[in-house]
A = this chain, B = another copy of it.
Amino acid sequence: MSSKQLNMVQAINSTLDLLMAENDSIILLGEDIGKDGGVFRVTEGLQAKFGSERVMDTPLVELGIVGMAIGMALSGLRPVPEIQFQDFIYTAFDQLVNQAAKMRYRSGGEYHVPMVLRTPYGGGIRGGLYHSQSGEAYFAHTAGLTVLSPSNPYDAKGLLISAMKYNDPVMFLEPKRLYRSIKSEVPDEKYSIPIGKASMVHEGNDMTFITYGSMVPTVMNTVTKHSIDADVIDLRTIMPYDGETILNSVKKTGKAIIVHEAPRTLGMGAEISAFLSERAVEYLSAPILRVCGPDIPFPYRLEEYYLPNEERILKAINRIQEFR
Contact = CB atoms under 8 A, between A and B. Distances in A.
Interface of A: 63, 87-88, 90-91, 93-94, 96-98, 101-102, 105-106, 129-130, 137-138, 140-141, 143-144, 239, 263, 265-271, 273-274, 276-279, 281, 284, 286-290, 295-297, 323
A95 to B, nearest CB: 8
Contacts of A239: 265
Question: Which of A97, A273, A277 has the most chain B CB atoms closer than 10 A to its own CB?
Answer: A277
Given A98-B130, A144-B297, A281 B274 contact: no
A278 B144 CA distance: 30
Count chain B CB atoms within 10 A of each CB in A96, A98, A105, A140 and give the residue with the most. Answer: A98
A284 B289 CA distance: 16
A278 B288 contact: yes
B290 A274 contact: yes
B295 A286 contact: no
A297 B102 contact: yes
Contact of A287 (B91, B279, B286): B279
Contacts of A140: 265-266
Contacts of A295: 143
What does DSSP make chain A's interface, helix, strand, loop or mixed? helix
A265 B141 contact: yes
Contacts of A270: 266, 270-271, 273-274
Which A-B residue pairs are the 4 nearest by beta carbons? A273-B274, A90-B94, A141-B266, A93-B93
B143 A141 contact: no
B296 A287 contact: no
Contacts of A279: 287
B274 A288 contact: yes
Nearest to A319: B278
A297 B286 CA distance: 36
Contact of A274 (B96, B141, B269): B269
A140 to B, nearest CB: 6
Contact of A94 (B93, B98, B102, B266): B93
Contacts of A271: 265-266, 270
Contact of A138 (B88, B138, B296): B138
Nearest to A98: B90
Contacts of A63: 91
Given A271-B266, A278-B287, A278-B289, A143 B296 contact: yes
A284 B90 CA distance: 39
Contacts of A130: 98
Contacts of A97: 90
A98 to B, nearest CB: 6
Nearest to A141: B266
Interface centre among A138, A143, A265, A278 (most CB of B within 10 A): A265
